[in-house]
Chains A and B, each alone.
Chain A
């Protein structure tokens, strides 16, 4: 058996192991918003290293009332304009229990559009509210298939909570190599965004 050399010399300092399974869901990057124009992850992270990627956002809110959006790039962030077709349905419940709803939302889905895709709407600026959720992006480096994505996220509003279920595909066989999150107005005032890689290639 060949001798394995680890990345440093002292056992007490070992932080990673060669040839030991490492969990296979790998945290690739974390971005903490602070009045940020947008949060993006480029080809440094979104490439052919993993079969799928999971984005998580925790307690994000805009600087002014706005909708949270995502878009995709095939040129490493020079342009976020990939054609998308999507579906969206939502559930809503008012805090005073006066109203509940489950329904398709026709106003915010996309049909072969390059526009920003809304992941959540009407987000306020109250400091203890905001949005948390996730988005899976499947095989973005493929040169064969469209790029599927699935998102579920929840908004805490002053008067209600709402969950948005967004899914669709980037209708391109060109590799997607950058993803950007932003708001339709103002900045990404707060929030933590994490990117995980799943299924190393």
Chain B
């Protein structure tokens, strides 16, 4: 067996090791508490994976939106073109649909992109899901992203809604910050995890 050398001399000082630790690294997490927004600074990972856990709005039917910054968070106004579709099902089984949502997509717009469209504000309601952002530090390519979320939509009775959004930040400038915020009110509660993947 070949000798494995650690990257520094003392075991007590080891901060990284040549042992497989998994290539998906928790970079940051934030737990909302009546937060106006949640922002993350990005580095040079090839891919970022976000997880949304029990996002709860302060205002009924508010949507969670995302936007990107190329100037470290001074401005969140990257031009985006996106698609958005969803499947829904009423809790009483009265109706279902699989549909493109023309009101939730963007065409070369700098506005926030809805990734969870409509969240019920009942105490036990929320929305959860994932979003992947690809190669945001590229100085060559546009920046693709794909999200999949599930929400309790406020109707009587409630709807279960599965929502897909995908698109790209139409810029070759590096994206170095991401912001999540509600379409109205604040992020009452919920956790967002950000992983880096190389």
Contact = CB atoms under 8 A, between A and B. Distances in A.
Given A168-B150, A199-B53, A111 B92 contact: yes
Interface stretch (B21-29, B36-44, B104-112, B177-185): B21-29
26 contacts: A12-B4, A14-B19, A20-B14, A20-B21, A21-B25, A22-B22, A23-B22, A25-B22, A25-B195, A26-B22, A51-B51, A51-B191, A109-B89, A136-B130, A138-B51, A139-B53, A144-B124, A145-B126, A146-B124, A148-B54, A150-B128, A168-B150, A198-B51, A198-B193, A199-B26, A199-B191
Given A111-B92, A150-B129, A167-B160, A11 B11 contact: yes
A17 B17 contact: yes
Q: Name the 6 nearest CB pairs between A and B, nearest first.
A: A23-B22, A111-B93, A167-B162, A138-B128, A24-B26, A148-B128
Contact of A87 (B21, B23, B124, B162): B162
A142 B162 contact: no
Contacts of B91: 85, 111-112, 171
Interface string A120-158: 000000000000000010110010111011101000000
A72 B194 CA distance: 27
A139 B193 CA distance: 13
Interface of A: 1, 3-4, 6, 11-12, 14, 17, 20-26, 51-52, 85-89, 102-104, 106, 109, 111-112, 136, 138-139, 142, 144-146, 148-150, 152, 165, 167-169, 171, 173, 198-199
B32 interface: no
Q: What is the interface residue range for chain B against chain A?
A: 35 or more
A12 B22 CA distance: 20
Interface in B58-112: 87-93, 96-98
Nearest to B163: A167
B8 to A, nearest CB: 12
Contacts of B87: 87-89, 104, 165, 167
Nearest to B126: A145
B124 A23 contact: no
B87, B148, B161 — which one has the most chain A CB atoms within 10 A of its CB? B87
Nearest to B56: A145
B23 A23 contact: yes
Contacts of A168: 89, 150, 160, 162
Contacts of B92: 111-112
B21 A22 contact: yes
Given A25-B24, A146-B126, A199 B98 contact: no
Contacts of A199: 26, 29, 51, 53, 191, 193
A139 to B, nearest CB: 5
Contacts of B29: 199
B124 A21 contact: no
B163 to A, nearest CB: 9
Given A89-B98, A111-B92, A169-B160, A145 B22 contact: no
A14 B11 CA distance: 11
B191 A145 contact: no
Given A171-B91, A199-B26, A149 B150 contact: yes
B51 A20 contact: no
B123 interface: yes
Contacts of B191: 51, 199
B24 A24 contact: yes
